[in-house]
Chains A and B, each alone.
Chain A
Amino acid sequence: MKKFFALVLALTMALSLAACGESGGAAAGSAGGKGSSGKTLKIGVFEPASGDNGAGGKQEVLGIQYAQSLTPTVDINGETYNVELKVVDNQSTTDKAVSAAQELVSAGVSVVLGSYGSGCSIAAAPIFGSAQIPAVGCSCTNPAVTAANPYYFRVCYIDPFQGPVMANFAKDQFQAKKTYVLTMLGEDYGSNLATFYEQEFKDKLGGEYKAESFPEGTSDFSAYIQNAVAYGADVIFAPSATTYASLIISQAAKAGCKIPILAGDTWESSVILDAQKGSDLQVFCSTFFDENDKSGTAATFVKGFKEWLNADKQRLTDNGGNDIVAAVSALSFDAYNTAIEAIKIANSTKGSDIQQAMFKVDFDAVTGHITIDPDTGDANKGTAYIKQADNGAFKFIKTQSVAE
């Protein structure tokens, strides 16, 4: 009897949940259809809202939402379509990313934006590819994201550019001869960027390096910092997720380490500012755009985005509790606009048409002029901005390019 009762209960729950899921989905479709005058065009937002990259993912979603608030409609064949965002959480892991991507495909989106963290993009790329849905990466810097898939594009620069940039910066700024490289074991972003850094630093710039990695879940970095000191490093290059970054910085500061720490684009985050605050440790990161750039598009974006953030408490919280404009928000803003440009050129909601149109995109975006490379699908970008975390604010240091 008990078993029967349990079974009935389980079945009722399963069925009603399924029914709810279905009706919710169906209702969403119909509501969107008749809710307003025009038709609906769905754009998928494929970002982490939780996990190691959750903080960055939320900032990217903000950039997209802001872009959508500015450009809520798009005209296709004389008809006005309302853009509806479908946000899914890929939880920063490649296995969850597959189902999240599947969900976007089920929802029938026309274009996908994201993800923060290249691993998830690489994992999801075949799904978008086989569904013929073009995807625009915002800040995924691994070359492999677009390499294997004609349906994946991106608006940022890539690791083979970013790594050497930081190596050159170390050389130019600190006359560095020795670098201590620290990455997380099993994280593709860090180890990839580190490899490109090492290659440039050793082969082109004639320095030497020592590379170490820490296991996931490490909290105690004092031994690693000690290793860097013992090695006699001039700079530490530590591209990693912000969760670990704050531990590395605060423990380096505590241990009285004076070696400048360099990292990639992930470190441009308020977490880093908090960790560095109150110490004289020098922390640098490369980034995609300069918030205080006073010329044209970027300045307008920064001003508007700050107002938009301050208008809602939830947005401020998602941004990390302040209104500092992260480069990833600017990138995701650009990614949204790139997608809209492509849709306009394609004059269609069909994925394959939009994919073809991507190569014709040509406009002035916040992070610089955007045109897409016909071979790789990457935006043509050639400048990186170096910023320093300096007592609660990011200070612009210089634009850095790679020595030929």
Chain B
Amino acid sequence: MKKNNQRQGLITAGIVIVLLAVLVLLDNAAWVPPMLLTVLRKGVIYALVAVSMNLLNGFTGLFSLGQAGFMLLGAYSYAVLTIPVENQTAIYQQFKNGGLHFSITESLTNVMGEFGTLIGVIICLIIAGAVAALFAYLIGLPVLRLKSDYLAIATLGFAEILRALVQFEKLGPVTNGSNLLYGFTSFSNFQIGTLHLGTVMPFLFSGACIWIVVLLINSTYGRAFKAIRDDEVAAEAMGINLAKHKRMSFVISSFFAGISGGLLAMYQASVQAVTFKSAMTYEILLIVVIGGIGSITGSILASFLFVGCSEWWLRFLDNTTVVSLNGKIASVIVICVAIVGVVALIFWRNRKKAFADKRNTIFLTLIVGAVLLAGQIKFAISSSLQLPLLRSGFRMVIFSIVIMIMVLFFSKGIMGDRELPDLLQKRRNAKAAKASKGGDAQ
């Protein structure tokens, strides 16, 4: 058994090293589309915040919608602490003598060089998380006594209050009020000589945090969280201190949300409070749902998928015209495949129902599908390159329809509440079982 564990550890370490090497390569190769790096960076940051939300919503059963507020705190704490002193007068132009007049990363860089920058960033990220956690603790005192929907609304409200607080004029000398903060240490600062490390670093930070969450979930505390999720009364009867564990889960989740906020600030290279709206929380929630509530790997996969779709793959839907015939044919094919896919899906869902029950659904689906297909075919044979329907904003419509389909038809998400290693394990076990069965037969 011990040997087996050792082997697994080695395999994991190998995978991690290979992954990091690939990332370094991607970061420095000229042929890599910059969009890929964008998706990787943003994806891994969203993965962390999605995992932190999953810890709360999926593993502890507390339906909280305050994630954007804690990210905001983290982003601002990080930014305020790392803006170089010389930039502070320019950035805080509205507030005489604004800014902190010191910068952790800058001071450490002066003392220890590039290594100091790294240490400084880590310290600031931890402070970012700690600030978010502190506020979470205070907010948790009244809020965590509430049940499901009320908790959701109250946390949503607190996120809005936090945003108002950051934008508050009187706090301007620290937060710069309504203005952006920029010029702080960001991913592009991670560079050794000519070797760019802007994509590896977020993976390292995020990966370390997610690893801690995984360890936590597999610990006694994690089992207590799950017990609370499954049945509060039973959990309490088993001697689990509800208030303590809920608070703990809330604070830890906010801590990591704060760190991911700091990372997001680094990714964007500027922060402004208006971007941390409830819409951001909803996006993260949808990632968690798509990935599967209660699955860490699901959340990670889903955030790459989500960011990839919204930032990259679906972007062509926002263009009004395709420039060439190839593009036109490709878009027609894609849309037709999508239509046929959705129709087939609805049929598949209804396959076990009696015909009388599903008659309306079937007719409606067929008619809508046929109309859409006819529209595509008409477009395909017409000479126009002006795509029908496509214009700015269409991407988000398609995107939200896909999400609704996910929510309605696959409410378990990609992974359900399982993890990727479990799935692989299961397949291996099944194979082994099959093999041994075969052996028996002989």
Contact = CB atoms under 8 A, between A and B. Distances in A.
Interface of A: 2, 5-7, 9-10, 12-14, 16-21, 23-24, 27-28, 30-32, 49-50, 89, 93-95, 98-99, 102-103, 105-106, 119, 122-123, 125-127, 130, 143-144, 147-148, 183-188, 190-192, 195, 211, 213, 215-216
Nearest to B280: A95
Nearest to B272: A94
**In the complex, the 8 A-B pairs of residues with the closest C-beta atoms, listed nearest first:** A27-B324, A24-B327, A191-B178, A20-B330, A27-B326, A28-B323, A95-B275, A31-B324
B256 interface: no
Contacts of A183: 178
A192 B178 CA distance: 8
B93 interface: yes
A144 B93 contact: yes
A49 B309 CA distance: 20
Contact of A185 (B91, B178, B323, B327): B178
Given A5-B348, A130-B188, A191-B179, A105 B270 contact: no
A130 B309 CA distance: 25
Interface string B180-218: 101100101000000000000000000000000000000
Nearest to A159: B93
B365 interface: no
B392 interface: yes
A250 B326 CA distance: 50
B246 interface: no
A185 B164 contact: yes
A69 to B, nearest CB: 16
A391 to B, nearest CB: 33
11 contacts: A12-B337, A13-B338, A20-B331, A21-B316, A24-B323, A94-B272, A94-B275, A144-B180, A147-B90, A148-B90, A213-B178
Contacts of B78: none
A28 B385 CA distance: 13
Contact of B272 (A10, A16, A28, A188): A188
B311 A99 contact: yes
Contacts of A2: 348
Given A12-B341, A16-B337, A20-B334, 12 more contacts: A17-B313, A27-B324, A28-B324, A98-B269, A119-B180, A122-B180, A122-B270, A127-B269, A147-B90, A186-B163, A188-B180, A190-B178
Chain B residues touching A, majority SS? helix
Contact of A144 (B90, B186, B313, B322): B90
Interface in B294-326: 305, 308-309, 311-316, 318-319, 322-326
Contacts of B150: none
Interface residues of B, number: 63
B269 A17 contact: no
Interface in B409-438: 409-410, 414
B194 to A, nearest CB: 13
Contacts of A147: 90
Interface in B84-136: 87, 90-91, 93-94
B34 A105 contact: yes
B111 to A, nearest CB: 25
B272 A13 contact: no
A17 B305 CA distance: 12
A106 B316 contact: no
Interface string B155-184: 000000001100101000000011110110
A27 B271 CA distance: 36
Contacts of B323: 24, 27-28, 31-32
B388 to A, nearest CB: 15
Given A49-B392, A119-B272, A144 B91 contact: yes
B59 interface: no
Contact of A14 (B269, B305, B409): B305
B313 A18 contact: yes
From A21, A93, A187, residue with most partner B Cβ within 10 Å: A21
B38 interface: yes
A127 B34 CA distance: 11
Given A94-B268, A188-B180, A20 B316 contact: yes
A140 B336 CA distance: 42
B178 A24 contact: no
